[in-house]
Structure 1
């Protein structure tokens, strides 16, 4: 992405969490303000790039599980963020050429970039919408054109709900999407937690949260119980809601990176602070609607 030619209407002077995440992943669709903010987070929480890559690997493994073992052919990816080297539609279509994917994001730049990279327009759609408005997303013509809600749909909320304020009631938001789906539908969630970081590194965690407060999307850390409550009405798929690196860790990643094992981590490693035990402070789970 050229530094001298941002898309129309995009303010590149304000850090954007999607572009910060892109930077953590080692990608190039970010600007100076995003890199500066991301590096400030990395300075206090050095494991952030590894966490982002492990989170992405979890997403890819979850999609492959859904498309193969669970037989899901429809995917609604909410808060999808910027495309990267492996994406939901690529994994889903590799498993089943009839798969359908709808990406949803509220960032116009993210949506424009996603549309430019899609190579399967008949199977994949991109919606610019706020996931906090389920009715808007579910009634959108692209959603209705591509997804049949009388059949199972996978609703994906990976690394996004910690940007939803409690006042917006993320539990009610998730429930509304669940209520719109058929039996056999699945919910995929990963969510930052304070269960480790607030105890092990409270000062560093607060500094990182302050950096995110300067973006359009402050971070809201939640407990295991609060995150598990997002799955009310679903049956959690084994092994349940667990640490990110414990979610089917022996299953190889679809892109071959195997990053979740952290045996050969990228340039930075998960911080070895007391209480971390090498873990990434993210819970991950997959639920199935009975």
Structure 2
């Protein structure tokens, strides 16, 4: 089993010459990474009861997914399901959400997308209900650049794959999206990038609403956002690991791979 920092060494080595002496995380499997992302995202507001799903496409084409029955703050490594590319459960003791079709269609349509996150978060869900994209007002809201589209090109629930197919086409090459009257969607090439995009989206939405209530705020120019967003190519160095260590301190049993 490789250390997570080994898997990302090329991206962070210039900034962490001593990382070999100080591992950022203990040895962790891909299932462990999905479980940790569930816990971290829950702590950052992606916590709507049993709603939401995270998928990670593996090198063999199979897909890892959190189970339907568990809230994100109780998911552990041993709970993560292994699915075939068409959504059949290959390994695991739980059920998969009926809404898995959107994720599988996105993975199929987007070779660059290895991680898909969806939930009904507090702050980004609010802007989704408004049908608006919040402005970028500060540094933490600018770590991801490019448009934040708001889509309502679906009519129904995400367990209808005919409906979600239209949404996949509408998304194009978007990094993320707000789904009108529904929730938020994040797409990424790896776990660290997915975390940064999720955290940036939620922060940006929170700050945007706070500024609206205060009748203030100055939107950052696009050029400044592009400069600040340099970390997005590989996620923010060390951020996911720091948040994952926090979750491991709260619950050391998250990494409990089934024997």
What's the TM-score once normalised by structure 2's chain length? 0.33
What's the TM-score once normalised by structure 1's chain length? 0.31
